[in-house]
Amino acid sequence: MTDFEKAYEKAIADKILPGYALLAGNKDALRCVEEGRITLDEDVARYLPSIGKYGIMTSFDERTNEAVTVPNTTPITLRQAMLLSHTNGHEYDWLNPDLTKWRASRGEIPSCGPTIEEKHTLPLLYEPGTSFKYGPGSDWAGKVIEKVSGKTLDAVMKEKIWDPLGITDISFFPKERSDIKDRVANISTLNEQGEGPATDAGGFDVFVDATDCLGGVGAFASAEAYFIFLQSVLKRDSRLLNDDSWDELFKPQLDERCKEELNDYLKSSPLHTQLLGMGLPADIEKQWSFAGMIAEQGQEGRMNARTVCWGGVPSLTWYLDFEAGVCGVAFCQVIPPMSPRILKLHELFQRAIYEKVAA
């Protein structure tokens, strides 16, 4: 181990780091299906009456300062119009110019409000089940878990994931935990050219004042704690899910139309390529599973075909390479998200692990 590696390991060993709980939250949704609390094809409006209430926005009329909408008649479910696979009609408002205008027309800012209903009750952008846009489906799925279980998402994850795995260094609300509140890492930022040195981001709040558990935005955890979880997922740990649910978690979920929409979406702008493309070459076709994005082809010296990966706003990434039998997570805590230099570091990390396995 180099001196740099030793220093980095020491710096993060005891830190609690904000990151995405997408994989854990979607796993819990499948656990609720196992327990018969909900089905993958049930209309979630029963639990979430505000979801999709504004209909489908076809455009934004700047003359009247109003959204142009049509009614949505397609039920939103966990699978068919996938809350868990970003084909449910939503997109995060901070990613979409028309939604940003819609927010402004109401005197609001993107992702405003403490609850999921306030943050994500937005006009849909397409008929559910017909396209792909990256949005708050997993946040809504977390709310479904709370409705059917009668517990907070934090409590459900503790009972179903963290306690069985012996994990304690994780929470949606670290400020409420005396054992970890003083260990929360600061977020740093690069300059406008994406260059260092990194400086403190000045109190950047990835949760934007949320009081709800955000199943898509995520929880705070130590790198060691999240890696323990990731290893259990790689091994298909029977304490977490049964074999059928593990199969469902990793199965490609997009039909050909939605798969094409996903790949076009990732190429639609430099922002989408950088933030959501995970630094993977554009010629590698992507699919989506309940666990995360699937790289359908491998990349020499980096990963095998069907590797599952995803990341989060603080520039963290994780991956599961089932053929090689390895997984990894890199917590960076740097914004703006997924700058090219940070993505290159993540790629080098994957290549170094791959090289060790090959040797």
Q: What is the pLDDT of residues 21-35, one digit of tens each?
A: 555 655 556 667 677
Task: Kindly give the confidence (pLDDT) of every residue in the chain, 359 residues in length, as a single tens digit, with 9 standing for 90 and above.
Answer: 444 334 334 434 455 555 555 556 555 566 676 777 776 677 788 888 898 899 999 999 999 999 999 999 888 877 654 667 899 999 999 999 999 999 999 999 998 899 999 999 999 999 999 999 999 998 998 898 898 889 999 999 999 999 999 999 999 998 899 998 899 888 899 887 778 888 988 878 878 888 999 888 888 888 899 999 999 999 999 999 999 989 989 999 999 999 999 999 999 998 899 889 998 999 999 999 989 999 999 999 999 999 999 988 888 899 999 999 999 998 888 988 888 889 999 999 999 999 998 88
Instruction: Specify the pLDDT at position 331.
Output: 86
pLDDT at 359: 84
The C-alpha angle 273, 283, 323, rounded to 5 degrees, equals 100
The predicted pLDDT at position 274 comes to: 86
Q: Tokens 């992702």 label which residue?
A: 111
pLDDT at 29: 67
Helical H segments across 161-222, by residue range: 163-165
Output b/e per residue, 329-352; b: 16+ Cβ within 10 A: bbbbbbbbbbbeebbebbbebbee
Q: Look up residue 357 and give its amino acid.
A: V
pLDDT reported for residue 8? 36
- Please return the burial class of 43, using the count of CB atoms within 10 Å of its CB with bins 0-12, 13-18 and 19+: middle
- What pLDDT sits at residue 18? 56
**Residue 29, helix vs strand vs coil:** helix
User: Are 168 and 225 a contacting pair, CB within 8 Å?
Assistant: yes
The number of angstroms, rounded, from the C-alpha of 239 to the middle of its chain's C-alpha atoms is 23
| Residue 133 pLDDT | 95
What is the per-residue pLDDT for 293? 96
Taking each continuous run of H as one helix and of E as one strand, the counts in the chain are 12, 13
Homologous superfamily in CATH for domain 3-21+168-358: DD-peptidase/beta-lactamase superfamily (3.40.710.10)
What local confidence, expressed as pLDDT, does residue 354 receive?
92
Q: Kindly report the pTM of this predicted structure.
A: 0.88
Instruction: Answer whether 259's CB lies under 8 Å from 221's CB.
Output: no
| Count of other CB atoms within 10 angstroms of residue 199 | 10
**Domains of the chain, residue spans:** 3-21+168-358, 33-149
180-183 LR contacts (CB < 8 Å, sep 24+): 180/16, 180/220, 183/14, 183/15, 183/16, 183/222
Long-range contacts of 300-308 (CB under 8 A, 24+ apart): 301/351, 301/354, 301/355, 302/347, 302/350, 302/351, 302/354, 303/350, 303/354, 308/250
CA distance 187 to 332: 9
Per-residue DSSP letters for 69-121? Answer: EE---SPPBSSTTBTTTT-SS---GGG-HHHHHHHHHTT--TT-SSSHHHHH-
The pLDDT of residue 7 is 37
